[in-house]
Structure 1
Amino acid sequence: MWLAPALLLLAHVLTAARAFKITNFHVPAYVPADQTSVDIWCSYDANFTILNWFKGPIEFFRYKPTSVPSTRSFPILGVGTIDLISCGPTECRLRLGHLTEEASGLYRCDLELDKPPYKFETRTGYMRVASRQRRKPVVEGLAGEYYDDEEIQAYCRAENNAEIRWYVNGKEVMEQRGNRSLKVDGKVINSTEPTVTVQCAEFIDGKLIGSKDAQARWKKAIKTLTYTDDSSDQPCAIANSSNFKLSFNIYSHLLCLLVSCVIF
């Protein structure tokens, strides 16, 4: 008659006396750029009711042995996938995949017994994920030389999900935002510099992630003006240069007039 209550009491005493501790905890301190996934785990000797994984203040995994389902995961910045390897009486092991450098941060495993006798245990570790080198955008199709009355054209080869913004001589061409191709009238640039600089910039979620610029020679267009002498049917071309040189035809005409005056 007394054996069953005694066994229950003994089990209660043993449970209450059981150690409540995390025996092993693993979060890699450094993840190289060419590695996209890591395993993390928390081993324990404890009679707990809930286990939580955190990155900073954000919970991303929960294990409650008495619940159905017993596990839940939540998204966090920098971690593309959270896969359960195993969670049981002695260990909870996860695989974090598709990591980016934003996965860097402080990771924590919490054990809690949320009923009498209340107990709590925690372990933390910092993980740094190396940044991955990205391919910079490429400016293509830009000519080596432009006159100020020509249209400048170029193409930006960039990430598929990036928003493209074009800059000419450091000033954004607002009407070309979002376009992979650039077309801008040279007349609106109005530059006095010997070169023109065209820049393609990539933005994702409003954040600059890469840019590339290219240069071309910049020249003023040479304009030709035509004048007609009233005393002659033959036009005279005068180049729009700093010296405004007279053409050979005008010199010949003046010479003829001078000879006529001497003779008469």
Structure 2
Amino acid sequence: MDNQSGKIQRAIICLLLLVGGATGLKDVKIKVPDMVRSGDDALLSCNYDLESASLYAIKWYRGDVEFYRYLPKEAPSHTVFPVQGIKVDISKSDNHDVTLVNVSRELTGRYKCEVSADAPSFHTAIKEAPMEVVDVPETNPTIVAERQRLPAGETLRANCTSGPSRPAPVIKWTLNGNHTRADVVIQFCPRLTD
């Protein structure tokens, strides 16, 4: 019986070594821009270490909806799935990067990269990160003062207005290069327009 249990122990150790060494995928990292201007392109990157394993697939998702797949052993290796608002530049997309063209506010959300090693392990790892698409004002803010000239010590009454944007801009006042005190500035709630 001792000989039999020794064989079983050796078999278990060999199996653990095989399974432990078969993962082949580690250090998966995703890089997604925190913020992108509406109308710009966005480069999403997924880096990984397959060790000695081969790549089976890279899949990209917005939320839980797949929009891009890279399978190196298939021809063509790229597949783009129709997802409203998402346009992929195939010429700038590969097994690490995917380029989204002319992004819009609707593409704000969480993006996931799924990396799968090839047989025998098919080990899979998923990383995700948020991206916000912002609409910036098309023009500079305008300042309208109640009076153009003031004697020293007089109170200045002025209004600073920014063009439409999402999220609302943060406006800070300076006077002669110095930031004004918060208690002398009246903040009006942003008015949102569609």
Q: What's the TM-score, normalizing by structure 1?
A: 0.40
Alpha-carbon offset, residue 18 of structure 1: 6.5
What 5-or-longer segments of structure 2 have no aligned partner?
1-17, 139-192
The equivalent of 1:99 in structure 2 is 103
Alpha-carbon offset, residue 86 of structure 1: 4.7
Separation (CA, whole Å) in 1 of partners of 2:122 and 2:85 = 34
Contact 1:101–1:132 (CA under 8 A) maintained in structure 2? no
Separation (CA, whole Å) in 2 of partners of 1:69 and 1:87 = 11
Q: 1:29 aligns with which of 18, 34, 52?
A: 34
Contact 1:78–1:101 (CA under 8 A) maintained in structure 2? no
Alpha-carbon offset, residue 117 of structure 1: 2.3
Separation (CA, whole Å) in 1 of partners of 2:74 and 2:49 = 20
Q: 1:125 aligns with which of 129, 146, 149?
A: 129
Contact 2:89–2:99 (CA under 8 A) maintained in structure 1? yes
Separation (CA, whole Å) in 2 of partners of 1:105 and 1:82 = 19
Separation (CA, whole Å) in 2 of partners of 1:78 and 1:115 = 34
Separation (CA, whole Å) in 2 of partners of 1:56 and 1:18 = 26
Report the AA paired with residue 71 of structure 2: K
Separation (CA, whole Å) in 2 of partners of 1:120 and 1:43 = 13
Contact 2:88–2:98 (CA under 8 A) maintained in structure 1? no
Alpha-carbon offset, residue 36 of structure 1: 1.2
Percent of aligned pairs with the same amino acid = 25
Kindly report the root-mean-square deviation, in angstroms, between the aligned alpha carbons of the 2 structures.
3.1
Q: 2:79 aligns with which of 72, 78, 88?
A: 72
- DSSP 3-state at the match of 1:102: helix
Separation (CA, whole Å) in 2 of partners of 1:61 and 1:118 = 19
What 5-or-longer segments of structure 1 have no aligned partner?
1-12, 135-208, 211-264
The equivalent of 1:51 in structure 2 is 58
Separation (CA, whole Å) in 2 of partners of 1:30 and 1:84 = 23
Separation (CA, whole Å) in 2 of partners of 1:18 and 1:115 = 10
Separation (CA, whole Å) in 2 of partners of 1:71 and 1:80 = 14
Change in Cα spacing, 1:38 to 1:110, as seen in structure 2 (3 Å) is same
Contact 1:85–1:94 (CA under 8 A) maintained in structure 2? yes
Contact 1:83–1:96 (CA under 8 A) maintained in structure 2? no
* Structure (1 or 2) with the larger CA radius of gyration: 1
Q: Equivalent residues in 2 for 1:193-232 (5 A)?
A: 210=194
Separation (CA, whole Å) in 2 of partners of 1:74 and 1:20 = 26
Alpha-carbon offset, residue 32 of structure 1: 3.0
Separation (CA, whole Å) in 2 of partners of 1:108 and 1:81 = 15
- Give the paired residue count: 121
Change in Cα spacing, 1:41 to 1:87, as seen in structure 2 (3 Å) is same
Contact 1:79–1:103 (CA under 8 A) maintained in structure 2? yes
Report the AA paired with residue 33 of structure 2: P
How far does the alpha carbon of each residue in 1:88-108 deviate from its partner, in whole angstroms, 9 at most, with x for none?
5xxx11211111100111100
Contact 2:23–2:121 (CA under 8 A) maintained in structure 1? no
Determine if the alignment matches structure 1 residue 20 to structure 2 residue 2.
Answer: no
Separation (CA, whole Å) in 1 of partners of 2:102 and 2:58 = 24
- DSSP 3-state at the match of 2:44: strand
The equivalent of 1:85 in structure 2 is 92
Report the AA paired with residue 125 of structure 2: E
Separation (CA, whole Å) in 2 of partners of 1:127 and 1:115 = 33
Q: What's the TM-score, normalizing by structure 2?
A: 0.52
